[in-house]
Structure 1
Amino acid sequence: MSDSPKSRLSRRAMLRTTAGAAAVAGIAAATAGTAQAGWGHGGGHGHGGRRLPKERIAVQLYTLRNALEADLEGTLGALSDIGYRNVELAGTYGRSAKEFRGLLDRYRLRAVSAHVDFRGADVDQLIDDARILGYHVADCAYANFGTIAEWASFAQDLEAAGKAFRKAGIAYGYHNHAHEFQAIDGVRPFDVIARTTTRRNIHFEYDLYWLVVAGADPVREFYRQFGRVRQFHVKDRADDGSFADLGTGNIDFARIFRETWAGGAVLHYIVEHDQPTDPLKTAEVGYDYLRDLRF
């Protein structure tokens, strides 16, 4: 496909139509919880003049999974046209690590992170793939157990996997949902993960939407694990609890970013939406919001 400016614009318009048709209809509602009053509204541009460095802005490709399945190359090209240079991977859509890396390079995209589950996987193979794809940060995307004992066992395994990744030069972490912050027998599973693992081997990727849904204050939780929170999933929440494009919901990202900026600990601010009706529009709105946000 030609890469002239005209063709890129046509490709982008075409992909928006394709992505919209391929997307899952409807927006999933959140399970429980409401935003605390202090979080305010996320639509504004905050106070002060600080902006996120563009090199810290990324998009989680899970957001665009339907578009990527419909047209892998066209979607990657459209993301590049929007302005993204960084992506977080969630699979390689039937391509080998080498093939997918070639596509990323072709469209001037860089994998800065990936969601990879160590459970039932060949960790050595995951490490080999990471080296080919080029990322140095990875995360376990999901776990859920009914007892604290099961969470503790999982955390021990997570620590062991993190150690193996670290020795290979890859930082490994855990990505939260809401349930890790909801107590089982008076104990929050997230606290079990935090105290069972070490900061040397396991960092945290905070999904800000799910923290809010859980009724937790992202800033407070950031300082409870100060130095271990290296990534944010930046996902907005509509008033009815469903997912929202960035800046159209009620999470005050300016406040969160401003109050967690200490030390520049957060490496990646990753745009995500679990059920977008128009994935490329969601990606573009998210990029523009993070690029222009002042805090």
Structure 2
Amino acid sequence: MNYKRREFIKMSSNLAAGLALAPIAGKLIPAEDGADKLKAFGIQLWTVKTALAKDPRGVLKQLSADGYKQIESFEGSKGMFWGMTNTEFKKYMDDLGMTIISSHCNTAKDFEKKADEAAAIGMRYLLNAYVPVQKTVDDYKKVAEEFNKNGEVCKKAGIRFGYHNHDHDFNVVDGQPALNIYLQNTDPALVDFEMDIYWVVTAKQDPEAWLKKYKNRFRLCHIKDRIKNATEKDASCILGEGSINFPKIIKTAKANGMQYYIVEQERYDHSTEMDSAKADAQYLKKFKF
């Protein structure tokens, strides 16, 4: 997710200002050469947002054909379920052999209802996709407390709450990265984190170091590659064409509690949304670590 997405995630600004596993987790199977492979992987629907807005059912059907077994939605103009009710969406996913694992959503509006609807169809997570830069440590602690409250709502419904990082979440505040404040001031029983590996790397941080330091806190991840030698922030590309060492990072992620592996791409220099999603799936089908 990039900064162009701020209109969708304005709800997180409101937050800051107002201060049983799914059927198929991101399981791993041994490859013939002794390496591990991903048995199931998902896609964040933001990757195909333009096509999705025009033909949700058609896009989901194609993603299934591409090999995606899981999806992570986001709350667009048609809601998390793209013009369908939660149960209609679940049935369509079942028909396609897919599972909706999670969704990014507006946590500042009707959150209890969203949590109940998500739980009713077996979703595992609702996630806050973005919180803007705060000024002080106390401001970040207030956000963390809101995360805990969101976690309580989700726990009551029977699902989990999580936060998805961006590069600015590693800005140093009073001698420490902002994400550190979130992690240290949220209850592990209530709040998990979704590591966007791309944004960790973009912030010039080491994903493996964070995964090891906060074992079992990062349960989902966005697998998004970065154009080699790119200097701009928004430089995602087709998996395998970029500079990020996913085999090494994913091996560490698996050893430190990662459960869900979710593709995301936001830039398409020589391709389209749908063609890129297909290429990303082909990469992960062959992926070994």
Helix, strand or coil: the match of 1:52? Answer: strand
1:130 aligns with 2:114: no
Helix, strand or coil: the match of 1:280? Answer: helix
Cα deviation for residue 180 of structure 1 reads 0.6
1:150-190, CA deviations, whole angstroms, 9 ceiling, x for partnerless residues?
22111101111112212322111111000011113433211
Helix, strand or coil: the match of 1:135? Answer: coil
1:75 aligns with 2:63: no
Partner of 2:280: 286
Cα deviation for residue 195 of structure 1 reads 1.1
Partner of 1:41: none
Matched-pair contact (CA < 8 Å) for 1:177–1:207: yes
Partner of 1:28: none
After superposition, residues 60-209 of structure 1 pair within 5 angstroms as 60-90=44-74, 91-118=80-107, 120-148=108-136, 149-209=138-198
Matched-pair contact (CA < 8 Å) for 1:158–1:197: yes
Partner of 1:228: 217
CA distance in 2 between partners of 1:222 and 1:248 (Å): 24
CA distance in 2 between partners of 1:260 and 1:103 (Å): 31
Matched-pair contact (CA < 8 Å) for 2:133–2:169: no
CA distance in 2 between partners of 1:109 and 1:260 (Å): 23
Matched-pair contact (CA < 8 Å) for 1:156–1:197: yes
Counterpart AA for 1:122: D
1:52 aligns with 2:37: yes
CA distance in 1 between partners of 2:253 and 2:151 (Å): 25
Deviant stretches of 4+, over 6 Å: none
CA distance in 2 between partners of 1:192 and 1:180 (Å): 10
1:106-125, CA deviations, whole angstroms, 9 ceiling, x for partnerless residues?
3222101111232x222220
Counterpart AA for 2:240: G
Please, which of 200, 206, 212 is the counterpart of residue 211 of structure 1? 200
Partner of 1:259: 252
1:271 aligns with 2:263: yes
Cα deviation for residue 219 of structure 1 reads 0.2
Structure 1: give runs of 5+ residues left out of the alignment. Answer: 1-47
Helix, strand or coil: the match of 1:142? Answer: coil
Helix, strand or coil: the match of 2:176? Answer: coil
Summarize the Cα distance change of 1:287–1:51 in structure 2 as closer, same or farther, 3 Å threshold.
Answer: farther
Summarize the Cα distance change of 1:92–1:275 in structure 2 as closer, same or farther, 3 Å threshold.
Answer: farther
Matched-pair contact (CA < 8 Å) for 2:133–2:168: no
Cα deviation for residue 196 of structure 1 reads 1.0
What is the identity percentage for the equivalent residue pairs of Structure 1 and Structure 2?
30
Aligned residues: 245
Matched-pair contact (CA < 8 Å) for 1:49–1:294: no
CA distance in 1 between partners of 2:260 and 2:67 (Å): 16
Cα deviation for residue 81 of structure 1 reads 0.9
Partner of 2:238: 245
CA distance in 1 between partners of 2:101 and 2:196 (Å): 17
> Which is bigger in relative contact order (C-alpha 8 A, separation at least 6)?
1
Q: Under a length normalisation based on structure 1, what TM-score does the superposition of the two structures give?
A: 0.78
Counterpart AA for 1:53: L
1:27-68, CA deviations, whole angstroms, 9 ceiling, x for partnerless residues?
xxxxxxxxxxxxxxxxxxxxx63233323x111111111111
Counterpart AA for 1:73: R
Matched-pair contact (CA < 8 Å) for 2:237–2:266: no
Cα deviation for residue 96 of structure 1 reads 2.6
